[in-house]
Copies of this chain bind each other. A is one copy, B any other.
Amino acid sequence: MKKSEAKKSAKPKLRLGLPKGSLQDATIEKMAKAGFNVQVSSRSYVPYVDDEELEIRLIRAQEISRYVEHGYLDAGITGHDWIVENGSKVHEVGEFIFSKISRQPTRWVLAVPEESGIQSVKDLQGKRIATEVVNLTQRWLRKNGVKAEVEFSWGATEVKAHELVDAIVEVTETGSSLRANKLRIVETLLTSTPRLIANHASWKDGWKRKKIETLSLLLRGALEAEAKVGLKMNVPRAGLAKLLAELPALRNPTISQLSHPEWVAVETIIDEKIVREIIPQLKAAGAEGIIEYPLNKVVY
């Protein structure tokens, strides 16, 4: 392997772990938006990426922080929850929100059957809890001075709450899956978001750190852009000042003169959610030819 390492040193590479499994498609889509096209082949465990300075590995979200800590990976994208569960010593570069629709973090919660008598962590004394995050749960119980048996669940944890154990600690985004299983959320142990993490040594290496920071910048720019749109409109010059005063959402617009001397073009970047409210207001204020266009990246 000497030879191939020699070759590597000639052309530095950053080895990046992406989460295999349920987060995989979302992560690859975000990477593509950031400008890095990753192609997974069923024939090879090394995905293709159109950047010679990157080397991608697909690894379970649960394990990424462990392999970043050990140095097998320079950096990785994984949930805050699994970094905590594994107790991994890694550098957290940035935090991201992946869910385009809810734009919410996930939560690990204590859940019990709707009709259970358990109302708080204190009621868990002497009880049995099933969960995929055994360490996190045990630490939380200790912190609350409660003794309970925590057993590792290999999956389908929600079903167990009804007869196999007294309570579960399970992950949820909107709570709808728990409700559908007739479970009640008692407490939240941890909220979690995707993180870009780095091995401490890699973070000290100048080239690697710069590469990781660029990745972070572009990823953030791409995620930022998911929630924003470009908005352009024509406004009579006479009404411009009033319009801008009344609509502070039109932050920092570009104003350009149109061929017609009485009209100007106003252009800005705006939260997609605000568009719903502002378009009727803009029309009312005399704006015309309003167009909204999509963005790939927004970097302030």
With known contacts A43-B177, A154-B62, A297-B275, A292–B217 Cβ distance under 8 A: no
Q: Contact: B218 with A35, CB < 8 Å? A: no
Q: Contact: A296 with B298, CB < 8 Å? A: no
Q: Contact: A37 with B101, CB < 8 Å? A: yes
Quote the shortest CB–CB distance from A28 to chain B (angstroms): 11
CA of A277 to CA of B112 in the docked complex: distance in angstroms? 40
Q: Is A258 an interface residue (CB 8 A)?
A: yes
Quote the shortest CB–CB distance from A293 to chain B (angstroms): 5
Which residue of B has the minimal Cβ distance to A51?
B276
Interchain CB contact (< 8 A) of A294 among B66, B254, B290, B293: B293
Segment from A3-11, A89-97, A155-163, A191-199 that makes contact with B: A155-163
Q: Contact: B291 with A298, CB < 8 Å? A: yes
| Residues of chain A from 241 to 300 with CB closer than 8 A to chain B in the complex | 252-259, 265, 269, 272-273, 275-277, 279-280, 283, 288-300
Interchain CB contact (< 8 A) of A298 among B269, B276, B283, B290: B290
| Residues of chain A from 45 to 68 with CB closer than 8 A to chain B in the complex | 45, 48, 50-51, 59-60, 62-63, 66-67
Which residue of B has the minimal Cβ distance to A256?
B256
**CB<8 Å pairs between A and B, sample of 30:** A34-B276, A35-B272, A43-B176, A43-B177, A45-B162, A48-B102, A48-B174, A50-B103, A60-B154, A67-B164, A72-B164, A213-B280, A214-B276, A214-B279, A214-B280, A218-B275, A252-B289, A254-B259, A255-B259, A269-B289, A269-B291, A290-B298, A290-B300, A291-B295, A291-B296, A291-B297, A291-B299, A292-B296, A292-B298, A293-B294
Number of copies: 6
Interface residues of A (CB under 8 A from B): 20, 34-37, 39, 41, 43-45, 48, 50-51, 59-60, 62-63, 66-67, 72, 100-103, 151, 153-156, 159, 162-164, 174, 176-177, 179-180, 210, 213-214, 217-218, 221, 225, 229-230, 252-259, 265, 269, 272-273, 275-277, 279-280, 283, 288-300
Q: Known contacts A50-B102, A50-B273, A254-B259; can you find 6 more A-B pairs with CB under 8 A?
A: A35-B275, A36-B276, A214-B277, A256-B257, A290-B300, A292-B295
CA of A155 to CA of B155 in the docked complex: distance in angstroms? 13
Q: Contact: B254 with A255, CB < 8 Å? A: no
Quote the shortest CB–CB distance from A108 to chain B (angstroms): 17
Chain B residue contacts of A253, Cβ below 8 A: 259
Chain B residue contacts of A177, Cβ below 8 A: 43
Q: Contact: A100 with B43, CB < 8 Å? A: no
Quote the shortest CB–CB distance from A216 to chain B (angstroms): 10
With known contacts A102-B48, A280-B213, A299-B283, A293–B230 Cβ distance under 8 A: yes
